[in-house]
Amino acid sequence: MPRSQIQKIVRTALPWLRRIELISRPRLRPICATRGGRLGLGVAVSLMAISMILPIPGTNTIPAMGIFTIGFGLLDEDGLISLAGVVISLIGLAVTTSILVALAWGGNSLLDVLKAGLHL
């Protein structure tokens, strides 16, 4: 990558990073600093990573945002931001689960229609 392009990216990103840094500060430290808190966040990240592996459209973006948010909270030891990442991850889990359930029910119905069509 040319140096000028990297400098442009950094110039564009700096205002956003400064805004985020104004919000982020060490708080709710037991979530990020204790073994149990980090274990819980690790489980959430692992589940979202598994969810992202599924080759189903629409199931990758929300878990990725949750992982990013949890990671950012861990970097600044901000338990509140990490908890926000867990909430985003739970929303991603709900979306992925609902898509899988819809595919299971819809897939069965589609399979029945195809079977009926082949017997005609």
Q: What distance in Å separates the CA atoms of residue 28 and residue 45, rounded to the nearest whole number?
A: 19
Return the amino acid letter for 91: I
Q: What distance in Å separates the CA atoms of residue 10 and residue 118, rounded to the nearest whole number?
A: 59
Q: What distance in Å separates the CA atoms of residue 3 and residue 1, rounded to the nearest whole number?
A: 6
Partners of 27 in the β-ladder: 78
Q: What distance in Å separates the CA atoms of residue 42 and residue 81, rounded to the nearest whole number?
A: 15
Domain extents in the chain? 26-119
Q: What is the CA radius of gyration of the chain?
A: 20
pLDDT at 42: 93
Partners of 78 in the β-ladder: 27
| Average pLDDT, 10 consecutive residues per value, the chain (120 residues) | 90 88 86 90 92 82 92 90 94 86 73 70
